[in-house]
Structure 1
Amino acid sequence: MAVPKKRTSRSKKIIRNTLWKKKGYLKALKAFSLGQSIFTGNSKSFFCNKYQR
């Protein structure tokens, strides 16, 4: 028989939410940094032709 689960505490919910948001922030920061390095031409991992027509 199905039994209802206990409610998750508010503090645990906030901690999980904060970690979830932090992961997204770090991914965005990394993507921005990579884009910036490609734009300035300092990228070591990507090759891009700046003067493409």
Structure 2
Amino acid sequence: MAVPKKRTSKSKKNSRKANWKKKADKASQKAFSLAKSVLQNQTTSFIYTLNEE
């Protein structure tokens, strides 16, 4: 027989949302930092080739 699920508390919901946002912010900071280093030709952790003809 189907039983209704219990309601998630506000604090648990807010905690999960904050964790998700922090994770996304960290990923965006990393991507931005990598893009800046690629543009300035100062990369050490990223290998790529330039097509120079």
TM range (shorter): 0.7 to 0.9
Q: Percent identity?
A: 45
RMSD of aligned Cα (Å): 1.8
Residue 9 (structure 1) shift? 0.2
User: TM-score when scaled to structure 1?
Assistant: 0.84
Alignment partner of 1:47 is 2:51: no
4+ runs of 1 displaced by more than 3 Å?
A: none
User: TM-score when scaled to structure 2?
Assistant: 0.84
Alignment partner of 1:38 is 2:38: yes
Residue 26 of structure 2 is matched in structure 1 by 26
Residue 17 (structure 1) shift? 0.2
After alignment, is 17-26 or 38-47 more displaced?
38-47
- Structure 2 unaligned regions, length at least 5: none
SS of equivalent residue, structure 1 residue 6:
coil
Aligned residues: 52
Residue 48 (structure 1) shift? 4.6
